[in-house]
């Protein structure tokens, strides 16, 4: 299988690349993204509910004919053995009639980012070693990608990783997960500014000539660990298929019966995984998308306009969904409408701040997606309501209940994706349970929620508060380049 570009190809770039090339150097011409040249199709025999998660994953990866040796794939997938239940890394739990939760947070950093970053990190560092090439991975995080990327790449040969986070912009737990990491190849840097500043600093760095020259001098190449990298997306197809098979296994549906999947969206990687699964033949009625107060994605799917002209980023209680430019929408547009239109729309977004689909294109988008936006009050009420009934969900997962109430039209099952464990957002959980808006420290909130709901605090989270802090630098934005250059030297 080869990979091609969403905005068409500019001379000077290869027209088609292998999977390895797409994940080592994810930047394509015209700023586009790599996508599979044609998607494989699952035949009926694929939907075998007796497959283990790892076997299903291997079968899916092999179906894409990726250029990675089988034993490396096996070793990468063996990382799921480090999840709470090695046989069932992503449990699917029934919470109401026809309503299920795909719990994707049972990995080492307690957010769904581990589902892809654990095996992806292994494969990327294997490729770097095989080539004898050193890579620097830069990550800007609003809280979940950073810990998952550090956990995956720490102590990996030929890889150095530098992770920027907004100081004061993450939860205590998320910050501690990063600053207490003690790998020999990692640098964690707090920035005086918000997440946009961290991301902007990273983009400036990527465009800086002095920075590139220094990397060249040190024979270091750059790669990326965010979901523009297809190496993450491929692992995000699998858990949607697994959830479908879990419903068959639980006798909730019969083979080939359609279901909804609901995804709390930010950069749209999770939703894209579901879209590819549907296109490959998984019987999905529709993919239901939730946004928070930053509702660009919901607007696009409802009205066909992606418009950020009058929008400012709003900080919400579901911070991983706080986004204005959602990268992976581009891959959907490409898949539905081709490279020429995709490039024109992306150019419009950059120059005019919006793009608009016509009514036929919107109708096409709505064949696969429906969307709704939620807000902080709804999330808090939902957390409290479900906690009373015995199910604990985090503020991102709670947004999915809005889709359940507004968009679940047919009498079929709906599987909502739970993207984080409650322990990562304990102060919000405490606000929801007490119905107040006071600011609590994570530790206090963890203890309160644990006691009130009679649920344990995950050991790896509790231990963070007594771990050694290895990374205490918080710097001004203009000092980032020097700090990273010092690190790679
Ligand atoms: C990253 C993240 C999301 C958004 O996922 P996308 O694939 O970027 O749409 C939602 N919830 C949580 C908790 C996350 O960490």
| 420 CB within 6 A, ligand 1 | yes
Query: Is residue 262 predicted with pLDDT exceeding 90?
Result: yes
Query: For the segment 419-436, what is each residue's pLDDT rounded down to a tens digit?
Result: 999 999 999 999 999 999
Q: What is the mean pLDDT of residues 100-108?
A: 98
pLDDT, tens digit, 9 for 90 and up, residues 335-367: 999 999 999 999 999 999 999 999 999 999 999
Indicate if the pLDDT at residue 207 is higher than 80: no
What confidence category does residue 226 fall into, taking pLDDT thresholds of 50, 70 and 90? confident
* Per-residue 3-state assignment (H helix, E strand, C coil) for 387-448: HHCCCCCCHHHHHHHHHHHHHCCCCCCEEEEECECHHHHHHHHHHHHHCCCCCCCHHHHHHH
User: Ligand 1, closest atom to CA 420?
Assistant: 13
Q: Is the CB of 321 under 6 A from ligand 1?
A: yes
Beta carbon of 421 within 6 Å of any ligand 1 atom: no
Ligand 1 atom, smallest distance to 269 CA? 7
Percent of the chain scored above 70 by pLDDT? Answer: 100
All structural domains of the chain: 76-103+231-421 (3.40.50.1100), 112-226+460-489 (3.40.50.1100)
Which of 33, 111, 323 maximizes ligand 1 atoms within 8 Å of its Cβ, making it the mutation to test the pocket? Answer: 111
Find the mean pLDDT for residues 48-71. Answer: 95
Say whether pLDDT at 124 is over 90: yes
Mean pLDDT of 165-171: 91
Rounded to the nearest angstrom, the distance between the alpha carbon of 265 and the centre of ligand 1 is: 6
Atom number of ligand 1 nearest to Cα 144: 15
Q: Is residue 191 over pLDDT 90?
A: yes
Mean pLDDT value across residues 307-318: 94
Ligand 1 atom nearest the C-alpha of 273 is 7
Beta bridge partners of 305: 356
pLDDT at 489 over 90: no
pTM of the model: 0.96
pLDDT beyond 80 at 206: no
The confidence band for 390, taking pLDDT boundaries of 50, 70 and 90, is very high
For residue 199, what is the enclosing H or E element? helix 195-207
Residue 209: the pLDDT is: 84
Q: Which residue has the tokens 């990866």?
A: 61
Instruction: Quote the ligand 1 centre to 39 CA distance (angstroms).
Output: 24
């Amino acid at each position: 299988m080869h990979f091609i570009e969403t905005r068409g190809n500019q001379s000077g770039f290869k027209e088609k690349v292998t999977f390895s090339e797409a994940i080592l150097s994810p930047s394509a011409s015209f700023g586009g993204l790599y996508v599979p040249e044609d998607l494989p199709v699952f035949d009926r025999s694929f939907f075998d509910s007796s497959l283990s998660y790892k076997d299903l994953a291997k079968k899916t990866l092999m179906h894409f004919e990726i250029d990675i040796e089988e034993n490396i794939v096996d070793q990468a997938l063996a990382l799921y053995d480090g999840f709470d239940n090695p046989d069932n890394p992503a449990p699917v739990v029934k919470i109401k009639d026809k309503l299920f939760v795909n719990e994707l947070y049972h990995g080492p950093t307690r957010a769904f980012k581990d589902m892809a970053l654990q095996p992806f990190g292994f494969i990327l560092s294997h490729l770097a070693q095989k080539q004898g090439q050193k890579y620097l991975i830069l990550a800007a995080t609003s809280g979940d990608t950073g810990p998952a990327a550090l956990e995956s790449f720490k102590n990996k040969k030929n890889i150095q990783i530098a992770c920027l986070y907004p100081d004061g912009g993450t939860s205590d737990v998320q910050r501690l997960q990063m600053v207490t990491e003690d790998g020999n190849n990692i640098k964690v840097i707090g920035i005086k500014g918000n997440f946009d500043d961290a991301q902007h600093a990273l983009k400036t760095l990527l465009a800086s000539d002095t920075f590139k020259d220094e990397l060249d001098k040190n024979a270091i190449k750059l790669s990326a660990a965010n979901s523009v990298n297809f190496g993450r997306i491929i692992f995000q197809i699998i858990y949607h298929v697994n959830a479908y098979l879990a419903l068959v296994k639980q006798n909730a549906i019969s083979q080939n019966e359609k279901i909804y999947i609901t995804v709390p969206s930010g950069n749209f990687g999770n939703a894209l995984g579901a879209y590819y699964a549907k296109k490959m033949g998984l019987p999905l009625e529709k993919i239901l998308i939730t946004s928070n107060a930053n509702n660009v994605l919901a607007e696009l799917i409802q009205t066909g306009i992606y418009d950020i002209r009058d929008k400012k980023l709003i900080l919400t209680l579901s911070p991983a969904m706080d986004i204005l430019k959602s990268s992976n929408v581009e891959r959907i547009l490409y898949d539905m409408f081709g490279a020429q239109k995709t490039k024109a729309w992306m150019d419009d977004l950059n120059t005019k701040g919006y793009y608009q689909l016509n009514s036929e294109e919107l109708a096409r988008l709505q064949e696969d997606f429906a969307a709704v936006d939620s807000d902080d009050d709804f999330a808090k009420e939902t957390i409290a309501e479900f906690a009373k009934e015995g199910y604990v969900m985090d503020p991102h997962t709670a947004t999915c209940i809005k889709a359940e109430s507004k968009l679940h039209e047919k009498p079929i099952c709906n599987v909502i994706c739970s993207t984080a464990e409650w322990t990562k957002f304990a102060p919000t959980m405490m606000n929801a349970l007490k119905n107040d808006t006071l600011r609590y420290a994570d530790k206090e909130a963890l203890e309160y929620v644990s006691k009130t709901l009679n649920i344990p605090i995950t050991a790896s989270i509790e231990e963070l508060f007594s771990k050694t802090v290895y990374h205490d630098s918080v710097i001004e934005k203009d000092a980032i380049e020097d700090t990273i250059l010092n690190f790679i030297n």
